[in-house]
Structure 1
Amino acid sequence: MIADLDHFRLFGTHQRQARPILLTAGRLSAEFTYSGLRTVCYDGVEVLRAVSYLIRDRDWGTYLPLIENLRINENDDGFLIAFLARYKGNAETELEVSVAISATISGVLTFETEALSHTGFETNRCGFCVLHPIIGLAGTTVTVEHVDGVVEQTQLPFLIEPWQPFKNMRAITHNVMTGVKAECRMEGDTFEMEDQRNWSDASYKTYVRPLALPWPYEIPVAKPVKQRIALTITDTRIAPKSAPFSSRPNPAVVVTHGVKSGTIPHIGLVVTPEEAKATLAARQHLADVAPQELLFHFDPLAGHGKEAFEDFSAIAGIHRGNSTLEIVLPCQQTAATELTLIAAQMSASGFHPQAIVVSPAVDRQSTPPGSIWPQCPPLEEVYDAARAAFPHARLGGGMLSYFTELNRKRVPARALDFITHCTNPIVHASDDLSVMQTLEALPFITRSTRAIYGDKAYRIGPSTIAMRQNPYGSRTMENPAGARITMAKTDPRHNSVFAEAFAMAYAIQLLDAELECLTLSALTGSFGLIAGQGEPVIEGGKRPLYNTIKWLAGVAQSKWQECVSSDPTQVVAFIVEGAKGSYLRLVNVTSETKNVDVEAFNIKADDAQPMVALGPLATISLNLKDNPL
Structure 2
Amino acid sequence: MSERLALYGTEEPPASGRRLRAGALEADLVSGNLRTIRFAGREVIRAVAYVVRDRDWGTYDLGVESPVVQEDGSGFTVTWAATCIASDGTRLAIAATIRGEASGHLAFEVTAVPDGDFETNRCGFCILHPIEGVAGRPVAVTHSDGTVEYSVFPDLIEPWQPFKDIAAIRHEAAPGLAVTCRMDGDTFEMEDQRAWSDASYKTYVRPLARPWPYRLPAGEANRQRIVVEIAGETAADPVRREAEPVRLSLGPATGERFPDFGLLVSPEDAAEILAAPGRLPGLNPRHLLFHFDPTAGHGAAELRALAAVQALLPETHAMLECVVPCERDLDAELAEAARLVREARLRLDAVTVGPAADRQSTPPGSEWPPCLPLEQVYAAARRAFANVRLGGGMFSYFTELNRKRPPMDRVDYVTHATCPLVHAADDLSVMQTLEAVPFITHSTRAIAGEGKPYHLGPTTIGMRQNPYGSRTMSNPEGRRVAMAADDPRGRGLFAAAWLVGYAARLPGANVERWTGGSLAGPRGLVRGGDVVPAFHAAKALAALSGLPLRPLRSSIPSEVDGIAAVTADGRLLLRFANLTPEPLAVVPPSGIGFDLVAILDAAAPGPRPLAVPAGEPLALGAYAVAFAEASASSAD
**Aligning the two structures, in what range does the TM-score lie when normalised by the shorter sequence?**
over 0.9
Instruction: Please list the CA deviations of residues 372-428 of structure 1 after superposition, one character each: whole Å capped at 9, or x if unmatched.
Output: 000000000000000000111110010000000000000111011110100000000
Matched, 1:414 2:414: no
Q: What is the SS of the residue equivalent to 1:382?
A: helix
Counterpart-to-counterpart distance in 2, 1:23 and 1:246 = 18
Residues 576, 585 of structure 1: 8 Å contact kept? no
What corresponds to 2:425 in structure 1?
A: 430
What corresponds to 2:283 in structure 1?
A: 289
Equivalent of 2:524 in 511, 515, 528? 528
RMSD: 1.9
Residues 98, 115 of structure 1: 8 Å contact kept? yes
Residues 505, 589 of structure 1: 8 Å contact kept? yes
Matched, 1:76 2:68: no
Instruction: Please list the CA deviations of residues 174-219 of structure 1 after superposition, one character each: whole Å capped at 9, or x if unmatched.
Output: 1122221000001111100000000000000000000001101111
Matched, 1:36 2:33: yes
Equivalent of 1:559 in 548, 557, 560? 548
State which drifts further: 483-492 or 249-258: 249-258
Matched, 1:257 2:263: no
Residues 396, 465 of structure 2: 8 Å contact kept? yes
1:283 partner amino acid:
P
How far has the Cα of 1:242 moved from its partner? 5.7
Counterpart-to-counterpart distance in 2, 1:608 and 1:24 = 42
Residues 453, 511 of structure 2: 8 Å contact kept? yes
Instruction: Please list the CA deviations of residues 254-308 of structure 1 after superposition, one character each: whole Å capped at 9, or x if unmatched.
Output: 2222344521111111111112233233321111111111111111111101112
What corresponds to 1:536 in structure 2?
A: none
Counterpart-to-counterpart distance in 2, 1:622 and 1:354 = 33
Equivalent of 1:627 in 597, 614, 634? 634
2:533 partner amino acid:
P
Equivalent of 1:615 in 610, 617, 621? 621
Residues 603, 610 of structure 1: 8 Å contact kept? no
Distance 1:356 1:45, change over 3 A: same
Distance 1:118 1:9, change over 3 A: same
1:154-553 equivalent positions in 2, closer than 5 A: 154-235=151-232, 249=242, 251-259=244-252, 260-319=254-313, 320-454=315-449, 455-532=451-528, 541-553=530-542
1:138 partner amino acid:
A
Equivalent of 2:558 in 543, 557, 569? 569
Counterpart-to-counterpart distance in 2, 1:554 and 1:70 = 49
What corresponds to 1:584 in structure 2?
A: 574
Equivalent of 2:141 in 134, 140, 144? 144
How far has the Cα of 1:601 moved from its partner? 3.8
1:484 partner amino acid:
R
Distance 1:529 1:115, change over 3 A: same
1:627 partner amino acid:
S
What corresponds to 2:59 in structure 1?
A: 62
State which drifts further: 617-626 or 392-401: 617-626
Residues 77, 105 of structure 1: 8 Å contact kept? yes
Matched, 1:5 2:2: yes
How far has the Cα of 1:35 moved from its partner? 4.3
How far has the Cα of 1:251 moved from its partner? 3.7
Matched, 1:85 2:92: no
Residue ranges of structure 2 left out of the alignment (5+ in a row)? 595-610
Q: What is the SS of the residue equivalent to 2:377?
A: helix
Residues 159, 399 of structure 2: 8 Å contact kept? yes
Counterpart-to-counterpart distance in 2, 1:81 and 1:246 = 27
Residues 500, 562 of structure 2: 8 Å contact kept? no
1:516 partner amino acid:
E
Distance 1:247 1:317, change over 3 A: closer
Q: What is the SS of the residue equivalent to 1:167?
A: strand
Counterpart-to-counterpart distance in 2, 1:293 and 1:311 = 17
What corresponds to 2:120 in structure 1?
A: 123
Instruction: Please list the CA deviations of residues 436-476 of structure 1 after superposition, one character each: whole Å capped at 9, or x if unmatched.
Output: 00000000000001111112001111111110000000000
What corresponds to 1:106 in structure 2?
A: 103
Residues 94, 120 of structure 1: 8 Å contact kept? no
Counterpart-to-counterpart distance in 2, 1:68 and 1:433 = 18
Residues 261, 562 of structure 1: 8 Å contact kept? no
Q: What is the SS of the residue equivalent to 1:404?
A: helix
Residues 265, 516 of structure 1: 8 Å contact kept? yes
Counterpart-to-counterpart distance in 2, 1:285 and 1:247 = 41
State which drifts further: 290-299 or 59-68: 59-68
Counterpart-to-counterpart distance in 1, 2:556 and 2:181 = 26
Q: What is the SS of the residue equivalent to 2:136?
A: coil
What corresponds to 2:592 in structure 1?
A: 602
Residue ranges of structure 1 left out of the alignment (5+ in a row)? 534-540
What corresponds to 1:538 in structure 2?
A: none
Counterpart-to-counterpart distance in 1, 2:66 and 2:133 = 38
Instruction: Please list the CA deviations of residues 521-550 of structure 1 after superposition, one character each: whole Å capped at 9, or x if unmatched.
Output: 2222212211227xxxxxxx1111110111
Counterpart-to-counterpart distance in 2, 1:309 and 1:70 = 54
Instruction: Please list the CA deviations of residues 34-61 of structure 1 after superposition, one character each: whole Å capped at 9, or x if unmatched.
Output: 1400000011110011000000000000
